[in-house]
């Protein structure tokens, strides 16, 4: 009798254990987090490390990429040409740069060309810095001046020249634009005495002011209007082979965009300060406020067709457009559209 009772008890115990195991397996095998238990390393090459790209750094510091199953390896390319090269040679999975580079690559006949899938900024992020303070600046003050500019064919330089033309100034005849200095070195050259004006991203513009070496007199973002300045892109083959990774990456970015849209410059500055340890919190807040007030960041990451058309118009006006490129070839909005529907989830 005792033997039968023991066997019966053992059977019930085994059945109970099996039931628990089945329930556990059913929970781990379903739900939104499926596939995110194993993180995937993604190398992102950014054109520059700038506060201009705050939503991306918020996504990094708040752990949004890790939430989406991505271990992000961030590399700075120091120029769109270098970032594009890294993507084309598989040194980077994703590039973050001006979308003009994707047009150049496509027009050059690259078979596995680079496609834009998320637009981060919608205004230029640089500022015109003068050697002397100017209370009431106007663009015609640049006539006859020497200005430290950007690389020919790059967005910073093309937007600068776009503004000059809007104000009736011929970039080739009415002033001297020095394009001989490497990207990221113009602020140091300006501090060293070169040029009467320089076009600078942050934190360099504010740093020049803090040192008394220069004075911000104009925002290129305000004076150019809405421009598709920087976007995330990847080779066509990578996007086709890794759609889940691109979607997860875009979801994380959207969370960063949502955070920036719903928090103050002071709160954003505290979050991204680890990315800019050499910049104090007050300066960070000042810079973010500048970008905030000029409506720098989009509400979503969708790269609209009219923005792409404007980009090609700017390239054409600058004499840098090899050929018109179909929007559908170089822009994929599926991932950004999906991410916009995952807000606060």
Pair 182, 149: CB distance under 8 Å: no
Pick the closest to residue 205 from 190, 195, 194 (CA basis).
190
Q: What does the block give as tokens for 102?
A: 């994707």
Pair 190, 179: CB distance under 8 Å: no
Q: Which H/E stretch holds residue 115?
A: strand 114-121
CATH homologous superfamily of 126-224: Periplasmic binding protein-like II (3.40.190.10)
* pTM across the whole model: 0.82
Q: What does the block give as tokens for 71?
A: 């271990």
Say if 40-123+228-340 and 126-224 have the same CATH topology: yes
- Strands 146-148, 176-178: pairing is parallel
- How far apart are the C-alpha atoms of 342 and 345, rounded to whole Å? 6
Domain 40-123+228-340 belongs in CATH node 3.40.50.300: no
Tell me the DSSP string of 42-85: EEEEES---GGGHHHHHHHHTTHHHHTTEEEEEEE-SSHHHHHH
Pick the closest to residue 142 from 125, 179, 167 (CA basis).
167
Pick the closest to residue 320 from 122, 101, 85 (CA basis).
101
Instruction: Locate the domains of the chain by residue range.
Output: 40-123+228-340, 126-224
What pLDDT does residue 332 have? 98
Q: Which H/E stretch holds residue 34?
A: none
Residue 203 preceded by cis peptide, ω within 30: yes
Cα angle 61-65-71, degrees, rounded to a multiple of 5: 100
Print pLDDT tens along the chain (345 aa): 444 444 443 344 334 333 433 333 333 333 333 445 588 999 999 999 999 999 999 999 999 999 999 999 999 998 899 999 999 999 999 999 999 999 999 999 999 999 999 999 999 999 999 999 999 999 999 999 999 998 888 888 999 999 999 999 999 999 999 999 987 799 999 999 999 999 998 889 999 999 999 999 999 999 988 989 999 999 999 999 999 999 999 999 999 999 999 999 999 999 999 999 989 999 999 999 999 999 999 999 999 999 999 999 999 988 999 889 999 999 999 999 999 985 444
Residue 75, beta-bridge partner list: 45
pLDDT tens column, 300-333: 999 999 999 999 999 998 899 988 999 999 999 9
Spell 167-196 as b/e; 16+ CB within 10 A means b.
eebebeeebebeeebebbebbebbbeeebb
Cα angle 225-226-227, degrees, rounded to a multiple of 5: 110
């Amino acid at each position: 009798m005792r033997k039968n009772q023991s066997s019966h008890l053992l059977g019930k115990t085994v059945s109970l254990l099996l039931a628990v195991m089945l329930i556990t397996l059913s929970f781990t095998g379903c739900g939104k987090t499926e596939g995110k238990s194993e993180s995937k390393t993604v190398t992102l090459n950014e054109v520059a490390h700038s506060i201009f790209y705050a939503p991306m750094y918020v996504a990094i510091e708040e752990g949004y990429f890790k939430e989406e199953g991505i271990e992000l390896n961030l590399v700075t390319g120091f120029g769109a040409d270098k970032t594009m090269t890294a993507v084309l040679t598989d040194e980077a999975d994703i590039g973050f740069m001006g979308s003009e580079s994707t047009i150049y690559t496509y027009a050059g006949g690259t078979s596995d060309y680079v496609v834009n899938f998320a637009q981060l900024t919608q205004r230029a992020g640089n500022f015109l810095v003068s050697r002397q303070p100017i209370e009431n600046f106007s663009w015609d003050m640049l006539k006859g001046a020497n200005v430290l500019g950007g690389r020919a064919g790059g967005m910073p330089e093309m937007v600068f020249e776009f503004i000059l033309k809007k104000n009736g100034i011929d970039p080739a005849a009415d002033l001297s634009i020095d394009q001989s200095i490497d990207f990221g070195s113009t602020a140091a050259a300006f501090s060293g005495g070169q040029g009467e004006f320089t076009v600078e991203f942050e934190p360099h513009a504010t740093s020049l002011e803090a040192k008394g070496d220069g004075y911000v007199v104009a925002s290129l973002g305000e004076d150019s209007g809405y421009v598709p300045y920087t976007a995330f892109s990847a080779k066509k083959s990578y996007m086709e082979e890794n759609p889940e990774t691109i979607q997860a990456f875009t979801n994380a970015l959207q969370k960063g965009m949502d955070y920036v849209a719903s928090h103050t410059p002071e709160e954003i500055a505290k979050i991204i300060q680890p990315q800019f340890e050499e910049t104090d919190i007050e300066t960070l807040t000042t810079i973010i406020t500048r970008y905030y007030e000029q409506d720098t960041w989009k509400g979503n990451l969708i790269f609209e067709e009219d923005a792409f058309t404007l980009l090609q118009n700017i390239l054409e006006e600058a004499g840098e457009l090899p050929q018109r490129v179909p929007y559908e070839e170089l822009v994929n909005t599926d991932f950004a559209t999906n991410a916009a529907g995952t807000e606060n989830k």
